[in-house]
Amino acid sequence: MQSSQPENRHLSFDDVQTLDESSIHTLIALKKQELSMLNDRLKVIKDAKAAKANAEYLKQREIEIAKQQAEMLAQIDNEKLINIPQEDIKDSNTPARVLSAKVFIRDDDFNIIGYDGSRNEINHISQVECECEPKFGDILDFTGYRHYSWMFVGKDGKLLDPSGNYDCHPFADNIECGVVVPIEICKYLEDPWKKYSSIECVQAYELPYNSKIVQTYKNVPKDCLYTYLVNEYQQWELYAYKPGEEILVEQ
């Protein structure tokens, strides 16, 4: 028994040749309708994929923000504990020096066989040769090209990155904006401004609450991270940071 359903097949060129003009227009309209429906279905699929990707991005962003806030809270807890004994306070009156430095290249037996202008993977002055003996707070310059290769000499000869430790301020991890005097330096200085103000590239200081700079301001909020920085008008301002909050401290 033959099926009563019409055969489902594509029209051939010969089939189209036998259609009259009205039938051809009808066929074109049907094909446009099919194409429109197909585009609608594709848009729904595309929108669903975009919505899923956006939801995944927002979820990941929430995780990143929560992690950043947790890290900031941990930093704040650490800064609240800063209480440097007077005997560990370093000299603020002597301006910091910018010293040329090169990195030792050693062989497998740890013998020095040359020098390298790169500062990669170094963290202590024992790994470098300087034009003279560096002291706490001095800056080592490994390339002589602007401030891009600078590193601070910290306590016990540790070398510190000039982009700072805090991720909250606009100078964080942005060497193009200038040099940040990190908290590991500032917490050992009564007046970090006095030590670095002659160095033009220094554009920010990460400070503890008991810093001389912070204490010149009134009504400073406690339990924050503090950064003294240059704004777009080349004026120095003090900011206090909490998770999700940036506070401009009034003079």
Q: What is the pLDDT of residues 184-230, one digit of tens each?
A: 999 999 999 999 999 989 999 999 998 999 999 988 999 999 999 99
| Least confident residue range of 102-106, 155-159, 200-204 | 102-106
Sequence-distant (6+) residues with CB within 8 A of 237 are 228, 229, 230, 231, 248, 249
**What are the start-end ranges of the H helices in the chain?**
13-17, 21-80, 183-186, 192-196, 212-215
pLDDT of residue 119: 60
pLDDT of residue 23: 78
pLDDT of residue 15: 59
In 111-193, where do the E strands start and end? 112-116, 128-130, 139-141, 151-153, 159-160, 179-181
pLDDT of residue 60: 81
Alpha-carbon gap, residue 41 to 34, rounded angstroms: 11
| Inter-residue contact 168 to 135 (CB < 8 Å) | no
Share of the chain above pLDDT 90, in %: 35
pLDDT of residue 236: 94
* Partner residues linked to 179 by β-bridges: 202
| Inter-residue contact 27 to 11 (CB < 8 Å) | yes
**Mean of the pLDDT values across residues 160-171?**
84
Is the pLDDT score of 87 beyond 60? Answer: yes
CA pseudo-torsion sign 152, 155, 157, 159: negative
Is the pLDDT score of 6 beyond 60? Answer: no
Residue 206, SS3 per DSSP: strand
Give 101 or 111, the one with higher predicted confidence. Answer: 101
pLDDT of residue 145: 83
Alpha-carbon gap, residue 242 to 223, rounded angstroms: 8
Closest by CA to 151, choosing from 165, 136, 143, 141, is 141
